[in-house]
Amino acid sequence: MNDSAESQPVARAAFERRLLAGILLAGLPGAAAAWALLGFVNWAPPLRWGAAALVLALWLGAAWRLRGRLIRRLATLANALGALREGDFSIRVREQGRRDALGELVREVNALGEMLRRQRGSAVEAHALLRVVLAEVDLALFAFDDAGRLRLTNRAGERLLDRPQAELVGRSADELALGDLLTGAGQRLVDLRLPGGAGRWALRRTAFREEGRPHQLLVLADVNRALREEERAAWQRLVRVLGHELNNTLAPVGSLAASLRRIIGREPLPDDWRQDVAGGLAIIAGRTESLRRFLDGYAQLARLPQPRRAPLGLAAAVRRAAALETRHPVTVESGPDLTVVVDGDQLEQVLINLLRNAVEAVQPAGGSVTVGWRTAGGFVEIRVTDDGPGLASDANLFVPFFTTKPDGSGIGLVLSRQIAEAHGGTLDLANRADGPGCVAVLRLPL
């Protein structure tokens, strides 16, 4: 670097000499022509030599002045470009309104400085936003360079390692107990025991480059926390539904038991006490039986077996399920001849549930129920369509034991979705876009 710095003045002087020589050569023909004309002028020798000296002085003076102007303009542009290189984007070269090449160069340098100034402002704002996002995101982020040393982390990473970033930056991944995460699959679940926490984490690793050097970014998400939150929400829903149903049963049972105790505690007993006690006990028995069916339904949801897959002709299965619905005719729209590998009993149960819901939706006013299938990508879509009143709300469709039917159990759709998901598929219900009614779409992988 010192040799380069020392060679710059030498190179600059050589350039200035070449520039001066070029300007002199450009003016030489004019000076030579002036001297030649002086040879034809009938002047005294002293006057002729004086004129020749004047021509020489004008030639050299004009060349020197032009050289100086060019050197100053180029030096000014070099200083401006040097300031831009150093990151000072506030310097501008004064424009003189000239339309020559140098004036155009000055305007381009000023435009470049303005563009770089705006870009730096945008970069500073984007960097500030990135730092805020990194600080607030609830994911542990670690950036390692090609030597495996930490270059950047965020607050979640600091909490996980239980040390501030100033003490972490520069340390190797092995020192931080993260060395194993830089190798292997880029997306996987890992079990970690770190100073700030232990448990299972979802790892995502990606590569990027900074200043031409490869880096790796590790993103760690706490799987246990998400599972605990989902588990808590599931328990809350379960307790809410169970509490509601138990209150619906225990409140009338308790009231009836108190009434019956008052009846048999009278002296003398009323003449119809046997009928009152028998009626009250019958109501209590009915409510307890309803509560037993309710709990059996929950047990059925919990005991859903894994599907026993086998090849099944889809057309025959759909027609068989449609034939089982005897309360209302079901139109079968034939689709492609397909064989799916599913649990035949479970698939038939899903189709029966969907067709039963569609038939009950069109009764008693009457209407049409249609079932058909088609392929979409790597899936087969079985669609059950009706032209009934449609869905008033889809918020509680798949909430266990939620039903709008007087004699409904509220577990048919829940079981159907569980069966679909156990087969790697989905089940969705929505109002039809082409008219009144509802459409249920069962998607299963081919």
pLDDT tens by residue, 172-184: 988 888 888 888 8
Domain-embedded: residue 102:
no
What pLDDT digit, counting tens, does each position of 317-332 carry?
A: 999 888 888 788 888 9
Residues 383 and 289 in one domain: no
Whole-number pLDDT of residue 304: 66
Higher-pLDDT residue of 42 and 21 is: 21
Of 248, 278, 302, the domain-final residue: 302
Of 54 and 406, more confident:
54
Q: For 332-337, what is the mean pLDDT?
A: 89
* Least confident range of 37-51, 75-89, 374-388: 37-51
pLDDT of residue 83 exceeding 70: yes
CATH number, position 143 = 3.30.450.20
Full domain range(s) for residue 176: 132-225
Whether residues 155 and 210 share a domain: the answer is yes
395-429 pLDDT, tens per residue? Answer: 556 655 555 554 544 567 777 888 888 888 888 88
Whether 238 maps to a domain, the answer reads: yes
14-23, 76-85, 341-350: segment of lowest average pLDDT:
14-23
Query: Is 70 exceeded by the pLDDT of residue 357?
Result: yes
Residues 433, 365 share a domain: yes
For residue 370, what pLDDT is reported? 92
CA gap 93, 84 in Å, rounded = 12
Q: Number of structural domains, the chain?
A: 4
pLDDT band for 1, please (50, 70, 90 cuts).
Answer: very low
Of the three residues 302, 324, 345, the one that is the final residue of a domain is: 302
Same domain, 53 and 160: no
Beta bridge partners of 191: 200
Q: How far is C-alpha 116 from the geometric centre of its chain's CA atoms?
A: 31
Question: What was the pLDDT predicted at 372?
Answer: 92
The 10s digit of each residue's pLDDT in 257-295 is: 888 788 777 778 777 777 877 887 887 787 777 677 666
Task: Examine residue 370 and state whether it is found in any structural domain, yes or no.
Answer: yes
Q: Would you say residue 195 lies in a domain?
A: yes
Contact 191, 200 (CB under 8 A): yes
Per-residue model confidence as pLDDT tens digits over 5-16: 556 666 667 766
Note the pLDDT of residue 252.
73
Residue 3 has pLDDT above 60, yes or no: no
For residues 298 and 340, membership in a common domain is answered with: no
Residue 298, pLDDT score: 62
> Lowest-pLDDT range, 126-130, 233-237, 338-342, 437-441?
233-237
Q: What integer pLDDT is reported at residue 384 of this predicted model?
A: 92
User: CB under 8 Å to 359, separation ≥6 — which residues?
Assistant: 325, 327, 328, 330, 369, 386
> Does 207 lie in the same domain as 258?
no
Average pLDDT over residues 46-66: 78
Instruction: Reply yes or no on whether the pLDDT at 310 is more than 80.
Output: yes
* pLDDT at residue 211, rounded to an integer: 78
Mean pLDDT of the chain: 78
Burial class (CB in 10 A: 0-12, 13-18, 19+), 334: exposed
With a pLDDT cut of 70, the percent of the chain lying above it is 80
- Residue 260 shares a structural domain with residue 209: no
**Contact between residue 416 and residue 350 where contact means Cβ atoms under 8 Å apart:** yes
Average pLDDT over residues 370-394: 85
197 and 292 assigned to the same domain: no
CATH number at residue 402: 3.30.565.10
Identify whether 100 is part of a domain.
Answer: no
The pLDDT value recorded for residue 408 is 47
Q: How confident is the model at residue 297 (pLDDT cuts 50, 70, 90)?
A: low
Q: How confident is the model at residue 381 (pLDDT cuts 50, 70, 90)?
A: very high
| 319, 431: one domain | yes
pLDDT for 385 equals 92
Cis preceding-peptide flag for 364 (omega within 30 of 0): yes
